[in-house]
Homo-oligomer: A and B are copies of this chain.
């Protein structure tokens, strides 16, 4: 089932279907934590101990360049991967070492409208607007 979806994604990207690529996409899609390449390699090796690390890096780069998956930057400067390329934003909870997805089409629209209407960037073709919200989980104030 999910295997079929993965194969379709690869086909649509014009990529050959290989066990290595399936393993990488499988591992990435099963991980909601925006894993690093190293995270993925470790996950993959639990099942396919023979897949080379260099290959995983290579596959990830190809998938990003074909726009099948996304790449996100972090404060600690490790590349993390995003299983989806749908437009969305990220909430950085640095204390928890978590990056949480934040989908909000309305917000996208508000920002785009503002940028357009005010002609802030009138010689720029805007391809994407990404928001990074940096925050802390609020501790509930029961008692005291």
Q: What is A's interface to B at a CB cutoff of 8 Å?
A: 71, 73-75, 77, 79, 91, 93, 102, 104, 106-107, 110-111, 114-115, 120-121, 123-138, 140
Contacts and interface: CB of A to CB of B under 8 A. Distances in A.
CB-based closest 5 A-B pairs: A73-B73, A124-B135, A128-B134, A130-B132, A126-B135
A124 B137 contact: yes
Nearest to A112: B133
Given A73-B73, A93-B124, A124-B138, 11 more contacts: A77-B79, A91-B121, A104-B120, A110-B110, A110-B111, A111-B111, A123-B140, A124-B136, A125-B136, A129-B134, A130-B132
Nearest to A126: B135
Nearest to A78: B77
Contact of A123 (B77, B128, B138): B138
Contacts of A123: 137-138, 140
Contact of A114 (B71, B73, B107, B130): B107
Contacts of A137: 123-125
A30 B114 CA distance: 32
Contact of A111 (B75, B102, B131): B131
Contacts of A102: 120-121
A114 B124 contact: no
